[in-house]
Amino acid sequence: MALPAVAPAVGRLTAPIPAILPAPPGRLEIFSWWTTGGEAAGLSALFDLYKSRNPGVDIVNATVAGGAGSNAKAVLKTRMLGGAPPDSFQIHMGHELTDSWVVTDKMEPLDDIYTQMGWDTAFPKGVLDIVSYDGKPYAVPANIHRANVLWYNKKVFSDNGLQPPTTFEDFFAAADTLKAKGITPLAFADAEGFEAIQTFETTAIGVLGAEGYAGLWTGHTAWTDPRVTDTLNTYKRMLGYINTDYAGLTWDQANDLLISGKAGMTIMGDWIDADYTSKKFADYGWTTTPGTAGIYDALSDGFGLPKGAKDVEQVKNWLRMIGTPEAQDVFNPLKGSVPVNVFAGNGNYDPYLKSAIADWKSQTVVPSLAHGAAASEEWLGAISDAMAVFMIKRDVAATQASLQQACLEARVCK
């Protein structure tokens, strides 16, 4: 089932963290797709913290480049099905975790670790729901990311007398102004396949609202609904303001257009905040994507314990550490994300992340489609195929029919 629109737990408490004995010297292979800027820096900080707590461990950093795990997931699938899993691997919470590896009996439950560490109260209920299957947790979340963020170059906006857009009308007015000045209004990428899906989902949230968008994944909102037509028409119009070389760019390369002032805006998750930090660019601003004020389009990265891991005690210690306030406050400021643990939030967070921490506590949460929280892997694949065609043909009616068919095949629509 998809993560419903929920409000996360609020407030920051204090609670003792149980003593964790160091694991015996050994080898720990961590598989992820964190290879760029703040991602790599955050992962390295976690490795350093783990080594300080577990002397004698040899950490193998098994990374595979590719935004949103576009390449890594294929490598991971080969290893998991071939009986050679990494000791622990990065996974998106929600359907990507449960459908791919839990229901196929490839993961160990982690309820003993959750009980030991007191995470039933340290993690918001909405998060506990998406890491669990049949009442048992199967991964430890490291962070929360937000997908519905519009970033803009402050100097470009100031030079052109623009304010950050909060509605679609605002967005198109700003886009027209920038286009008239020879500036690309919306820096866009789609080389890795997830970027167009993510922009589609943020557009859908802006048109449908939190309840309407969440209903797409439960059958309560029909894909034949006129508001879905409006979503596709709005998205089609937005695509009239993007750079022509988008198909060959990754998200961070598209972001370089904004950094250089060649583009005014980009829509991307808040990992882009870490990209700005790593590139020493500070002249950026942010707002929620058009129409999504008060809504948090969420995804979460976590780690689990695959069956067949070579050093189970090392993995368990890694997982115990990942969920602690200390680890989350070391990792998230570098990664460009916010902590899941409600006891965390005391690290060196920049102004954007501080605002995101506050929003996470108070806003309505909906699940990301592009990042595995909203729909099953097969359903996401069918939607991705439909949107790939849409990016070329821009045929609203045909795309809506394909999306409806995908929902029927997922056995969510009737």
Domain spans, the chain: 27-145+301-360, 147-297+370-409
Average pLDDT (128-147) is 95
Whether 147-297+370-409 and 27-145+301-360 are alike in CATH topology: the answer is yes
Task: Check: CB of residue 308 under 8 Å from CB of residue 85.
Answer: yes
Phi, psi of 91 (to 5 degrees): -145, 145
Q: Is pLDDT above 90 for 203?
A: yes
The tally of CA atoms less than 13 A away on the side-chain side of residue 228 is 20
For residue 21, give the DSSP letter.
P
Whether the per-residue pLDDT at 323 is higher than 90: the answer is yes
Strand stretches in 238-300, DSSP E: 263-267, 284-288, 295-299
Torsion from C-alpha of 348, 352, 358, 363, nearest 10 degrees: -150
Q: What is the dihedral of CA 112, 114, 120, 126, to 10 degrees?
A: -120
Say which residues have a Cβ less than 8 Å from residue 325's Cβ, sequence separation at least 6. 17, 339, 341, 343, 344, 345, 346
pLDDT exceeds 90 at position 16: no
Check residues 243 and 14 and name the one with the higher pLDDT: 243
What's the one-letter identity of residue 283? D
Helices (runs of H) and strands (runs of E) counted in the chain: 17, 14
The pLDDT tens digits of the residues spanning 251-293 come to: 999 999 999 999 999 999 999 998 999 899 999 999 999 999 9
Query: pTM (2 decimals)?
Result: 0.89
Fold adopted by 147-297+370-409: D-Maltodextrin-Binding Protein; domain 2 (3.40.190)
Whole-number percent of the chain with pLDDT over 70: 96
**Extended beta strands in 84-173, E state:** 88-92, 132-133, 136-137, 140-141, 145-146, 149-153
Distance CA 396, CA 406 (A): 15
Q: How high is the mean pLDDT of the chain? A: 93
Q: Is the CB of residue 102 less than 8 Å from the CB of residue 133?
A: yes
How far is Cα 400 from Cα 407, in angstroms, rounded to an integer?
A: 11
**Quick check: 388 and 399 in contact, CB under 8 A?**
no
- pLDDT tens digit sequence for 54-82: 999 999 999 998 777 878 999 999 999 99
Question: If you classify domain 27-145+301-360 with CATH, what class do you get?
Answer: alpha beta
Comparison of pLDDT for 12 and 24, the residue scoring more: 24
